[in-house]
Structure 1
């Protein structure tokens, strides 16, 4: 895994970089999955060979995590961030108020699973069209993909000037 890229991705997430962009960068850095512990405010990243990297989450104004897990509110919050209505920090605050104590993202399993304190959970599958993360076709033309519920559009690269 590439620790510098992972640190950049954490900063980009809190800068409201869309989730699919962050996931592409994490996958490129060798990350296979990660878990966000919302009680301790830490993320642990895992590669395919069981190497781990643990990083603090810079969330300010941390709310109390509700005792009861509200899967419907977690799902609505996931949909809100997918539509671009809220940023990552607000996403975290809302799922915490809905009783989410941690969540795990599994790139190979193409899903995110959100957990309450008592093991209740909500699973958000990644759309099949999202994997593998290759937004450009072989000719470099415009290509629209749905990655983790987000519409992602890639534009062709401009030809480089010869020197």
Structure 2
């Protein structure tokens, strides 16, 4: 992958983990760079960024202290998503990831063109979250 694009992806992940850039700005930055989507895998502690031509880049992310729960529970996952959307006091991306894992979310895929995120449980249960208008 082009070194500039790899640097953009790595910088966006770092900004998320350090809570220095909000999600909408991360999405805008990745889209402007030409990415089409990305996928986060909590069990492998990776984020994979995809270009429209199929090229991808896997970037290591922070490992969760909490294992992914065996049962998928969309209610606490939706609550964690709302906290992220509203940037409630005390919100952090790492805290969001921990809450998602506790809710049984093994990872998620963000589609920029589809304007949605798909959250996936260990048993392939899903929750679709459309981007806010």
Residue correspondence of structure 1 range 9-158 to structure 2 within 5 A: 9-16=12-19, 17-59=21-63, 61-85=64-88, 86-127=91-132, 129=133
TM-score by length of 2: 0.91
Give distance in 1, aligned partners of 2:30 and 2:127: 23
Give distance in 1, aligned partners of 2:100 and 2:131: 18
Give distance in 1, aligned partners of 2:86 and 2:131: 15
Q: Which runs of 4+ in 1 moved over 4 A?
A: none
| Greater RCO structure (CA 8 Å; 6+ sep) | 2
**Other structure's SS at 1:66 match:** coil
Post-superposition CA distance 1:83-104 (Å, at most 9, x none) = 1121111000000011000100
Q: Which 5+ residue runs of structure 2 have no aligned equivalent?
A: none
RMSD across aligned C-alpha pairs, in angstroms?
Answer: 1.2
Larger radius of gyration: 1
Q: How far is the alpha carbon of 1:58 from its aligned partner? A: 2.2
Q: How many correspondences in the alignment? A: 127
TM-score by length of 1: 0.75
Q: Which 5+ residue runs of structure 1 have no aligned equivalent?
A: 130-163
Q: How far is the alpha carbon of 1:28 from its aligned partner? A: 1.4
Greater fraction of residues in helix: 2
